[in-house]
Structure 1
Amino acid sequence: MAYKARLKEFDDCLQGDVIDLKTLKKLCFNGIPDTAGFRPLCWKLLLGYLPPERESWKDTLEKNRRLYKNFIDDLVVLPGTEDANGDNNFLDHPLSCNPDSRWQTFFKDNEVLLQIDKDVRRLCPDISFFQQPTEYPCHDIVSSKEIKRLHTRVQRSVLKCANVERKGLGITKITLLLKKAPEDYEPMAEGQEAHWEVVERILFLYAKLNPGQGYVQGMNEIVGPIYYAFACDPDLTFREHAEADCFFCFTNLMSEIRDFFIKTLDSTDCGINNMMTRLSMQLRKSDLDIWLRFQQLELRPEYYSFRWLTLLLSQEFPLPDVLRIWDTLFSDENRFDFLIYICCAMIVVLRDKLIRGDFPSNLKLLQSFPPTEIQKILPKSFELFLQNS
């Protein structure tokens, strides 16, 4: 009955003409039900993609989805084709030094794409979702001969080697072997796209639209859970546009945590160093014995918590647990303050092992966090939060 009552609370909140965001955040803070498509809708509201006024949703969605299609048309530059104005640029060539050369743009884009392609092929390897075909491949890619899928622009390295066998003065036998660079995810056949290819395009467009920051390794771990939630939406009208909606939600989220990915801002108040300092201070307040043990071992927060904080714990737990943690992080009134409490709770629940352990064993434990501890972490983080409220 408690679960049904909770579902009703969400349903009542989301059916209003104007969504009460304060009430919604309070509900989501304790976790969003996995059913009825509540999570993707709530995340769109919590990340500021959808406005509270329901009547404006249709216009907002249509405008942004149309804008995203324009991004694909305008920013996926291919040399030797007509530009956005319909002018044929066949006189352009790969060796051109002209700064306006589409070939120059193409080569520069591919430098970024190479890293993105490598990262998205490793996304969430513990589940098969990102290797599966999407129901809604990009129409421009499937139907147009001009716009090719991005992964085809990045050549995977091939190692050629030969085994030579020779017996005395007899015939020499040479066996040629081709060893491809390891790929976790293979591309789909033409006409299909795997989910990782969709994520690749989202990250590529984000990098193009944010040249001051570009793509930084780890962004794939931020966009992955958002795309997964949207692409699994039971509401087909939303699921069809998971790519565009994910792009804008990811962009909004990155606007809040982008400083974590900019090295020159590490030491500022909004940088990652300040977050790690806050974590150390909270640990000292929550469990002085562990903090003293870490001081004794010179086990500094940057050795284990940099990835926790930068990637919002997306690599520390299985995807279902990450979704649950992000329900709370996205609904935090002081965005990502609660992340400090979760990280502190991760340390406190392992206190016995950490007190006894030496530097190598403790560092290994923290860098490869036991995923089974998630059932203890969230209650403990709420406890720490209440103690400091």
Structure 2
Amino acid sequence: MGELRRLASQGIPDGAGIRATVWKLLLGYLPADRALWPSELTKKRSQYKNFKEELLMNPSEITRRLEKSTLENQELDGGSQGLLSRSEISHEEHPLSLGKSSIWNQFFQGTEIMEQIDRDVMRTHPDIHFFSGDSSFAKSNQEALKNILIVFAKLNPGIRYVQGMNEILAPLFYVFKNDPNEENAAFAEADAFFCFVELLSGFRDNFVQQLDNSVVGIRATITRLSHLLKEHDEELWRHLEMTTKVNPQFYAFRWITLLLTQEFNFADSLVIWDTLLSDPDGPQETLLRICCAMLVIVRRRLLAGDFTSNLKLLQNYPSTNISHLLYVANKLRVHSGG
């Protein structure tokens, strides 16, 4: 795996489904032993199918199934009129029940999240036909993204859904769906779900609002970026934060929470992710080094700029040579290590 990580960090070729397989390995979804792949994939894909059946069901369907099983039991017992008496519909199954454990109460709460997910998915990469447009292909891809995010939200009530998760899911699903292996492409939704969970586990603290001001929350992560810049380029750090008063939260919040998916074109962001996912210490450290390198690369413009021009530059990062960016980021690692 060490050799695979080293090669992946230099960029994975686009063809032959190599990136899809390597990402699954790097995220621990596929075991290192290739002989175990078929059984592991069958197990996980079946598990996701069960999640969908349990969690994406409308309460009306749950109630209908309950009624059906009750009717079947009555028929086995000799049968009645086939009508449920009022007393047989429990309080928890009634649509007007306000009880916390009521399936309807949980459903209505979930509906708000679903509407947010729906809005965000519709806005995901509007310039890429894979994700947007009226084609049945784009619609089915949008549906898959929605399913994954809803299942995740229901399985993780502590986090639920946070705006921007759609942007982190999109590259995973895109890469897996474009696998030339038809079976893998057909199960892209299930595979993307588990890889999304794994990827997010390393960044979940960025999405938990209660942790924002804690030592592990997003603000603490941004402070670490500030310290990294100060360590490597104190002149630039001083100009940005002391002279022009550009608070790193103004630009780095989006860089970090969305894993740089919004700062570069989609193809370039996939190459950046090859490097992010290949770090044995987890993607967070590499992400901070890349963010620091982004600042260093445009240092001359930043040193010449004031608050307004610098903020505009960093919120609309200029197109750059990705290989050079990753080279500079890697030099920061060597410098820190030395």
TM-score by shorter chain over 0.5: yes
The one-character-per-residue Cα deviations of 1:38-90 (angstroms, maximum 9, x if unpaired) are: 11101111111111111211111111111111111111131322459754498
Partner residue, 1:128:
129
The 5 Å alignment of 1:350-361 reads: 350-361=298-309
**CA 300–99 in structure 1, closer or farther in 2 if over 3 Å, else same:** closer
- TM-fit CA distance, 1:187: 8.2
- TM-fit CA distance, 1:368: 0.9
Pick aligned residue for 1:224 from 159, 163, 170: 170
Structure 1 ranges of 4+ moved more than 6 A? none
Amino acid at match of 1:32: I
The one-character-per-residue Cα deviations of 1:70-129 (angstroms, maximum 9, x if unpaired) are: 111111131322459754498555323354543323211111101101101011122111
Deviates more, 1:61-70 or 1:99-108: 99-108
Amino acid at match of 1:321: D
2:293 matches 1:349:
no
Secondary structure at the residue paired with 1:320?
helix
Amino acid at match of 1:324: V
Partner residue, 2:320:
372
Secondary structure at the residue paired with 2:96?
coil
Q: Structure 2 unaligned runs (5+)?
A: 71-83
**CA 100–291 in structure 1, closer or farther in 2 if over 3 Å, else same:** closer
Conserved? CA contact 2:145–2:169, under 8 Å: yes
**CA 26–376 in structure 1, closer or farther in 2 if over 3 Å, else same:** closer
Partner residue, 1:62:
42
Amino acid at match of 2:264: F
Pick aligned residue for 1:279 from 219, 225, 228: 225
2:244 matches 1:297:
yes
- TM-fit CA distance, 1:349: 1.1
Q: Distance in 1 between matches of 2:135 and 2:152?
A: 22
Conserved? CA contact 1:349–1:376, under 8 Å: no
The one-character-per-residue Cα deviations of 1:179-236 (angstroms, maximum 9, x if unpaired) are: xxxxxx55859xx943112101100000000011100001111101000000011111
- TM-fit CA distance, 1:261: 0.5
Conserved? CA contact 2:272–2:322, under 8 Å: no
Q: Distance in 2 between matches of 1:284 and 1:270?
A: 20
Q: How many residue pairs end up in the alignment?
A: 314
The 5 Å alignment of 1:209-358 reads: 209-294=155-240, 295-335=242-282, 336-358=284-306
TM-score (norm 1): 0.76
Amino acid at match of 1:337: E
Amino acid at match of 1:357: G
- TM-fit CA distance, 1:23: 1.3
- TM-fit CA distance, 1:289: 2.0
Conserved? CA contact 1:77–1:106, under 8 Å: no
Q: Distance in 2 between matches of 1:247 and 1:350?
A: 36
Q: Which has the higher helix share?
A: 2
2:41 matches 1:40:
no
Conserved? CA contact 1:225–1:323, under 8 Å: yes
**CA 124–85 in structure 1, closer or farther in 2 if over 3 Å, else same:** same
Q: Distance in 2 between matches of 1:214 and 1:87?
A: 30
TM-score (norm 2): 0.87
Amino acid at match of 1:198: A
Q: Distance in 2 between matches of 1:363 and 1:130?
A: 30
Secondary structure at the residue paired with 1:284?
helix
Amino acid at match of 2:318: P
Deviates more, 1:93-102 or 1:45-54: 93-102
**CA 247–78 in structure 1, closer or farther in 2 if over 3 Å, else same:** same
Conserved? CA contact 1:74–1:84, under 8 Å: no
Identical residues among aligned pairs (%): 45
Secondary structure at the residue paired with 2:157?
coil
Partner residue, 2:108:
107
Secondary structure at the residue paired with 2:11?
coil
Partner residue, 1:118:
119
Amino acid at match of 2:51: F
